[in-house]
Amino acid sequence: MRDDQLLRYARHILLDELGIEGQEKLLASKVLIVGAGGLGSPVCLYLASAGVGHIEIADDDDIELSNLQRQIMHTNDRLGMAKVDSARIAMQQINPDTHVVTHKIRLDEAALRERIAGVDLVLDCCDNFKTRHAVNRICVELGVPLVSGAAIRFDGQVCVYDTRHAESPCYHCLFPEAEDVTPVNCATMGVFAPLVGIVGSMQAAEAIKLLTGLGKSLQGRLVMLDVRRMQWHEVKVPRDPACPVCSTRKVVQQAA
């Protein structure tokens, strides 16, 4: 590690549970962030500032004025710019050493498979069920851990799906894919601005923990937040043995 990196990451290195070894793992890590909006903003900024060495971002949207109420990575002078391009600017202003790769497309399953095959971890920061389920299927297929977050109105949730472990559920176990699911998003239902920051920051924390082996992840636990009352609720989420997505997966047991 270079002298300037020792200084930049000094507050991480001072943490005995992380230290130089953990920081070096972050520097060598590769992640994919799907979505560069409300959740993707704190995820991108925190992972870049923490020193994740290679970050890929996929999003097909451009910045609109209504985004700026909560998507803190973007600015007024970038209205009309692709969100992934704005993300790259913001991240490299924080940490020019982080290698940022952008994809201004909505990734289909073939593209997802190609992208996910090259990373250590995926963060689902998108706002539609079709993409969430596609990301989940590929993560299960390739054995890549997935950190998923969601926020709508005043309610948020975070969970980790790490099907490298035999007992871990996948996203489909909790939220089965169905044709009759009514799409919900903040464009029609609204969202409390700080909520996406809280949820996205939790996603970033879980990602860093998984990449470094720090602590215990949210695998098998769904954490929900009602920000109106600032009440947290956690439920254990078992794997569905009949899940059509993960029941036949090959498991590579990882060290705790």
Instruction: Give the model's pLDDT for residue 183.
Output: 63
Q: Which amino acids are annotated catalytic?
A: 186
What would the mean pLDDT of 215-239 be, rounded to a whole number? 96
DSSP alpha helices (H): ranges in the chain? 3-8, 10-13, 19-27, 40-50, 83-94, 109-116, 129-142, 171-174, 186-189, 193-212
What would the mean pLDDT of 28-36 be, rounded to a whole number? 98
User: Which stretch of 35-39, 98-102, 177-181 has the lowest confidence by average pLDDT?
Assistant: 177-181
Q: How far apart are CA 248 and CA 220, in angstroms?
A: 18
CA 116 from centroid of its chain's CA atoms: 13
User: Which stretch of 100-114, 162-176, 178-192 has the lowest confidence by average pLDDT?
Assistant: 178-192
- Per residue in 40-89, pLDDT tens? 999 999 999 999 999 999 999 999 999 999 999 999 999 999 999 999 99
Instruction: Give the model's pLDDT for residue 256.
Output: 38
Instruction: Give the model's pLDDT for residue 102.
Output: 97
In which band, very low, low, confident or very high, does the pLDDT at 246 lie, cut at 50, 70 and 90? very high
DSSP state of 121: E
In which band, very low, low, confident or very high, does the pLDDT at 189 lie, cut at 50, 70 and 90? confident
Cβ atoms of 145 and 160 within 8 Å: the answer is yes
Domains of the chain from N-terminus onward: 3-236 (3.40.50.720)
What would the mean pLDDT of 7-24 be, rounded to a whole number? 97
Q: How far apart are CA 217 and CA 207, in angstroms?
A: 9
Buried b (16+ CB within 10 A) or exposed e, 112-140: beebbeebbbbbbbbbebebbbbbbbbbb
Q: What is the pTM of this model?
A: 0.94
In which band, very low, low, confident or very high, does the pLDDT at 185 lie, cut at 50, 70 and 90? confident
Instruction: Give the model's pLDDT for residue 1.
Output: 87
